C-alpha cells in the first residue's frame, strides 16, 4: 500500500554513513562569554537557538542551496514530468524547513581553540564549558528530546551524501507501481515525507568556512519543541529573537564536568573567581583551569 510512510527512514543509510569511524564523544565543549556562563550556571539552563535567527546567515540556507543544485543536475536527463515533480519538491522543502526548523545548541570537539576564544572573547573573558554528552541525550531527563550530530563541512562529502540520498529517493519513487492513481492529497503527503528525510541530512551540513570550529550540535526541531515548551526571547544583533530553555528535570544542576577560562592577562585570578562562582551555585565539584594560549587584545 502506498501512503505517507512510503519514504519513511530512507535517509537512514545515508546518515549512518556519516557516523562510521565517528563514535559519539562522551564530552564536548560549549564556548561562551562571561555573561553566557553566568546565565547558564545561575539558571541551571542551556539556551537552544532557533537556527533561523542565528548571526550566521548561511546557517539554514547552505544545505538548501546545495540540495537544489544537486537535484537539478541529477534530474537533467529525466522526463519533463519528473523534472516538474523535482521542482515541487524544492518548494515543499522550503515550506517543511520552516516548520521543522532546527533548534540547536552548539558545542566543539576541542576545549581550547584559538578561533573560538577570538569569537567569544571580545572585551570580556570567555569560557569553555565541558558537558557530559551522554547525559544530555537522556530524553526523559530534560525539557525536550534532542539528538547529537557531528557537523559536516567538507563540500565534496556533502555533495556525495546528497547524491546518494537523492538516488535512493528516486529509486523508491520508481518502485511505485506504474499506472497507480496518486491523488493530490497523497502526492502532497509523499512530497512532505521526502522533504523531512532530506532535512534530517541537511541539518548536519555547514559552510566549509567554519570547519575550524569542529562543531557537534544537539538538535531538536521547531514542531517538536513546541509540544514541550514555549519560546522565550532575548536581544541580539538581529534584534529580539527566540530561544528555548533546556533544563534538567531530574537534577538540580546540569551535567557540567569542567570549565576552562579563556586567554586573559589575569588567568589565575579569573580562575579563582570562577571557582567561587561555581561553588556558590551548586557546582563546587566542577574542575576548572585556564588557557595558556597567547592572544592579543
pLDDT tens, position by position, 243-271: 999 999 999 999 999 999 999 889 999 99
**Residues 291, 130: Cα–Cα separation, whole Å:** 14
Q: What is the pLDDT of residue 53?
A: 87
- The arithmetic mean of pLDDT across residues 27-48, rounded, is 96
- Name the band, by pLDDT with cuts 50, 70 and 90, for residue 143: very high
* Per-residue model confidence (pLDDT) at position 55: 64
- Residue at 296 is within a domain: no
Cβ distance 273 to 164 under 8 Å?
no
Examine residue 16 and state whether it is found in any structural domain, yes or no: yes
Encode pLDDT of 195-245 as tens digits: 999 999 999 999 999 999 999 999 999 999 999 999 999 988 889 999 999
Q: How far apart are the first and last CA of the chain?
A: 65
pTM for the structure as a whole? 0.93
pLDDT score for 126: 94
CB 276 within 8 A of CB 259: no
Q: What's CA 67's distance to the chain center, in Å?
A: 18
Is position 40 within any domain?
Answer: yes
Does 297 fall in a domain?
no
For residue 74, how many other CB atoms are within 10 A of its CB?
Answer: 16
**Confidence band for 145, pLDDT divided at 50, 70 and 90:** very high
Which residue range(s) make up the domain with 27?
12-290
CB contact set of 33 (below 8 Å; sequence gap of 6+): 120, 121, 124, 126, 127
**pLDDT above 60: residue 46:** yes
pLDDT for the residue numbered 294: 83
Give the per-residue pLDDT at 265: 86
In a domain, 7, yes or no: no
> Residue 242 class from Cβ within 10 Å (0-12 exposed, 13-18 middle, 19+ buried)?
middle
Chain centroid offset of residue 39 CA: 21
**Contact (Cβ atoms closer than 8 angstroms) between residue 110 and residue 214:** yes
Residue 157 has pLDDT above 60, yes or no: yes
Identify whether 161 is part of a domain: yes
The per-residue pLDDT of the chain, averaged, comes to 94
Rounded Cα distance between 129 and 256, Å, is 7
pLDDT at 104 exceeding the cut of 90: yes
| Reported confidence tier of residue 61, pLDDT bands at 50, 70, 90 | confident
Number of domains in the chain: 1
The dihedral built from the CA positions of residue 190, 67, 60 and 103, taken in this order, carries a sign that is positive
Quickly state the pLDDT bin for 63 (edges 50, 70, 90). very high
For residue 6, is it within any domain?
no
What does the alpha-carbon distance between residue 159 and residue 205 come to, in Å, rounded to a whole number?
10
In a domain, 3, yes or no: no
Other C-beta atoms lying within 10 Å of the C-beta of residue 184: 7
CB distance 44 to 247 below 8 Å: yes
For residue range 270-293, list pLDDT tens digits in order.
999 999 999 999 999 999 999 999
The predicted structure's pLDDT at residue 54: 78
Top pLDDT among 96 and 1 is at: 96
Residue 84 confidence class, pLDDT cut points 50, 70, 90:
very high
Q: State the pLDDT at residue 166.
A: 98
Amino acid at each position: 500500500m502506498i501512503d505517507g510512510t512510503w519514504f519513511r527512514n530512507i535517509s537512514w543509510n545515508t546518515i549512518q554513513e556519516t557516523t562510521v569511524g565517528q563514535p559519539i564523544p562522551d564530552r564536548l565543549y560549549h564556548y561562551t562569554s562571561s555573561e553566557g556562563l553566568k546565565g547558564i550556571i545561575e539558571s541551571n539552563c542551556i539556551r537552544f537557538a532557533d537556527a533561523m535567527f542565528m548571526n550566521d546567515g548561511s546557517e539554514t540556507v547552505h544545505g538548501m542551496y546545495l540540495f537544489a543544485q544537486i537535484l537539478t543536475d541529477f534530474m537533467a536527463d529525466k522526463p519533463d514530468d519528473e523534472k516538474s515533480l523535482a521542482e515541487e519538491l524544492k518548494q515543499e522543502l522550503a515550506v517543511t524547513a520552516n516548520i521543522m526548523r532546527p533548534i540547536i545548541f552548539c558545542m566543539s570537539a576541542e576545549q581550547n581553540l584559538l578561533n573560538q576564544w577570538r569569537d567569544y572573547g571580545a572585551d570580556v573573558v570567555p569560557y569553555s564549558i565541558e558537558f557530559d554528552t551522554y547525559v544530555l541525550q537522556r530524553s526523559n531527563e530534560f525539557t525536550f528530546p534532542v539528538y547529537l550530530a557531528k557537523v559536516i563541512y567538507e563540500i565534496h562529502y556533502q555533495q556525495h551524501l546528497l547524491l546518494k540520498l537523492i538516488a535512493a529517493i528516486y529509486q523508491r519513487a520508481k518502485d511505485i507501481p506504474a499506472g497507480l492513481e496518486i491523488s493530490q492529497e497523497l502526492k502532497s503527503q509523499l512530497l512532505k515525507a521526502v522533504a523531512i528525510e532530506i532535512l534530517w541530512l541537511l541539518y548536519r551540513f555547514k559552510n566549509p568556512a567554519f570547519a575550524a570550529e569542529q562543531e557537534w550540535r544537539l538538535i531538536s526541531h521547531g514542531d517538536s519543541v513546541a509540544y514541550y515548551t514555549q519560546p522565550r526571547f532575548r536581544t541580539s544583533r538581529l534584534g529580539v529573537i527566540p530561544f528555548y530553555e533546556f533544563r534538567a528535570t531530574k537534577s538540580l544542576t546540569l551535567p557540567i564536568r569542567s570549565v576552562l577560562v579563556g586567554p586573559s592577562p589575569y588567568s589565575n585570578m579569573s580562575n579563582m573567581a570562577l571557582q567561587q562562582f561555581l561553588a556558590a551555585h551548586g557546582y563546587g565539584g566542577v574542575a576548572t583551569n585556564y588557557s595558556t594560549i597567547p592572544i592579543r587584545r
